[in-house]
């Protein structure tokens, strides 16, 4: 057992605090992998957001003369990866970063090249890949100011892990500078944009996505009334939006519906409690006669999307989208998907994890950053001004179009490793380095 194993186990009370599935796979046990006939590229995405970002990259890689493995860490991320890519790639759970688990996993999977999405730089995994001569690069690289502060405190311990990376294709110049400060040589870093722009499928203004109408019908959403969608909401934000929409109704004299989609499934019941009488997507129409019966009451104007994979459909129905995890002590959620559908997008002041994306959309005129005490007023103004909503939506969609193309650049970087254009670096040092 090495120093990184001990550090990982020391953190295990936090890691084990949530209910998790697939512990045999987490410990590196992999079954049913076909024999390798071509170079094998492994792309690792942590959770649902990162997996969704691969939607444009995966077809580009599948078109190359390789075998593709897609891995994810979380239960929801793995489920989403299987849903999206099971017919195109081998989809597996990523192991915990214990040396024995990592070795067991790599023995079975035998990748020739590894691409880590955003920032999944685990020391044991990267070091074991180096020992086997498997180059590891970071695609869609993102190192937020908050994450950087944490990494910088332990740079003496993890710096060698960053130096082992064959390349970092960062989303923007700020992230690139932080990777360099962590030890990645400057010549191995480039700014290549974010593939989340590519993964966001564009919508046509005024045209519902397939399935959105059915979602509205199932929930009982009135398509003739205004709808605010709170996407990826965090603690306290459902109550904030509930109160804001009630205030908006008084301001504009029209019914305002609210649909909230919490970011974390474990918060579904808490979110439902914040919107008393809300209609839950997970409850069938036959099981909720009361909600159907009360018609136009406040209860039937509040809806909870307590399912996975339908947020984009909800955005398609929205008149205004409010991006969650941005009004409390968290660090924002991704606004790109709503922007790609041409929606007027509002976000709170805490968006540090998506700073560059927010600034790009804001500067284009497609997004507004709003303090919580101004939220009701801004929503009221937007709901009362259809031309402004349309102008914001067009600007947001235009910004998405203008920033597409990163997936092709990342595919080229990974294929460069496959062809040997880029070599895996060798870092010498003690076991802890």
What are the Cα distances from residue 139, in Å, to 194, 278, 308? Answer: 9, 40, 25
- Concatenated DSSP letters of 221-263: --TTSEEEEEEEE-TTHHHHHHHHHHHHHHHHSS-EEEEEEES
Give the whole-angstrom CA distance, residue 223 versus residue 215.
Answer: 11
Fold observed for domain 212-402 = Rossmann fold (3.40.50)
Six-digit token pair at 255? Answer: 């019914």
Give residue 13's pLDDT band: very low, low, confident or very high (50, 70, 90). very low
Residue 323's DSSP bridge partners are: 231, 347
Intervals of CATH 3.40.50.2000 along the chain: 21-195+405-419, 212-402
Give residue 300's pLDDT band: very low, low, confident or very high (50, 70, 90). confident
User: What would the pLDDT profile of 320-334 be if each residue is shown by its tens digit?
Assistant: 999 999 999 999 999
Give residue 425's pLDDT band: very low, low, confident or very high (50, 70, 90). confident
Mean pLDDT of the chain: 90
What's the average model confidence in pLDDT over 277-287? Answer: 84
Q: What are the helix (H) ranges across 98-236?
A: 99-109, 123-131, 145-153, 155-163, 173-181, 196-199, 212-219
User: What would the pLDDT profile of 141-195 be if each residue is shown by its tens digit?
Assistant: 999 888 899 999 989 889 999 999 999 999 999 999 999 999 999 999 999 999 9
Can you tell me whether residue 371 is helix, strand or coil? coil
Give the whole-angstrom CA distance, residue 272 versus residue 278.
Answer: 6
Residue 302's DSSP bridge partners are: 258
Q: Which of 310, 300, 302 is nearest to 243 (CA)?
A: 302
For 82: left if phi > 0, alpha if psi spans -120 to 50, otherwise beta; the answer is alpha
Query: What's the pLDDT at 1?
Result: 59
Angle at 50 between CA 141 and CA 240, to 5 degrees: 110
226-233: strand order across its sheet = 279-280, 302-304, 256-262, 226-233, 320-323, 344-347, 367-369
Determine phi and psi for 128, rounding to 5 degrees.
-70, -35
Give residue 273's pLDDT band: very low, low, confident or very high (50, 70, 90). very high
Query: What's the pLDDT at 30?
Result: 92
Q: Which of 421, 416, 426 is nearest to 61 (CA)?
A: 416
What's the average model confidence in pLDDT over 116-136? Answer: 95
DSSP state of 46: -
Judge: domain 21-195+405-419, CATH 3.40.50.2000. yes
């Amino acid at each position: 057992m090495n120093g990184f194993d001990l550090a990982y186990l020391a953190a295990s009370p936090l890691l084990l605090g949530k209910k998790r599935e697939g512990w045999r796979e987490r410990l590196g046990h992999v079954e049913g992998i076909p024999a390798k006939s071509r170079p094998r590229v492994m792309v690792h995405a942590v959770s649902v957001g990162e997996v969704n970002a691969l939607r444009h990259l995966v077809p580009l890689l599948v078109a190359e003369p390789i075998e593709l493995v897609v891995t994810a860490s979380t239960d929801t991320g793995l489920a989403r990866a299987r849903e999206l890519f099971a017919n195109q790639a081998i989809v597996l759970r990523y192991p915990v970063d214990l040396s024995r688990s990592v070795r067991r996993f790599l023995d079975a999977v035998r990748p020739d090249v590894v691409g880590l999405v955003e920032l999944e730089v685990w020391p044991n995994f990267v070091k074991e890949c180096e020992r086997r001569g498997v180059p590891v690069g970071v695609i869609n690289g993102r190192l937020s100011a908050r994450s950087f502060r944490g990494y910088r405190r332990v740079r003496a311990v993890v710096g060698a892990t960053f130096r082992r990376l064959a390349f970092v294709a960062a989303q923007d110049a700020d992230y690139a500078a932080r990777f360099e400060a962590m030890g990645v040589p400057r010549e191995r870093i480039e700014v290549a944009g974010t593939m989340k722009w590519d993964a966001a499928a564009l919508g046509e203004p005024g045209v519902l996505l397939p399935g959105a109408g059915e979602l509205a019908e199932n929930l009982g959403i009135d398509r003739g009334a205004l709808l605010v969608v709170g996407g990826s909401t965090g603690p306290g934000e459902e109550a904030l939006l509930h109160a804001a929409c009630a205030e908006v109704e008084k301001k504009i004299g029209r019914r305002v519906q609210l649909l909230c989609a919490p970011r974390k499934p474990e918060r579904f019941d808490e979110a439902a409690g914040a919107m008393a009488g809300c209609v839950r997507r997970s409850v069938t129409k036959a099981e909720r006669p009361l909600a159907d019966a009360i018609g136009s009451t406040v209860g039937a104007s509040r809806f909870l999307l307590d399912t996975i994979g339908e947020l984009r459909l909800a955005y398609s129905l929205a008149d205004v989208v409010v991006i969650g995890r941005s009004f409390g002590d968290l660090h924002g959620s991704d606004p790109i998907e709503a922007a790609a559908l041409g929606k007027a997008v509002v976000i709170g002041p805490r968006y540090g994890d998506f700073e560059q994306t927010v600034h790009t959309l804001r500067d284009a005129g497609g997004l507004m950053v709003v303090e919580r005490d101004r939220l009701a007023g801004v929503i009221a103004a937007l709901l009362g001004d259809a031309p402004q909503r349309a102008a914001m939506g067009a600007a947001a969609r235009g910004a998405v179009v203008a920033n597409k193309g990163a997936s092709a650049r990342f595919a080229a970087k990974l294929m460069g490793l496959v062809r040997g254009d880029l070599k895996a670096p060798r870092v010498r040092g003690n076991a802890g380095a």
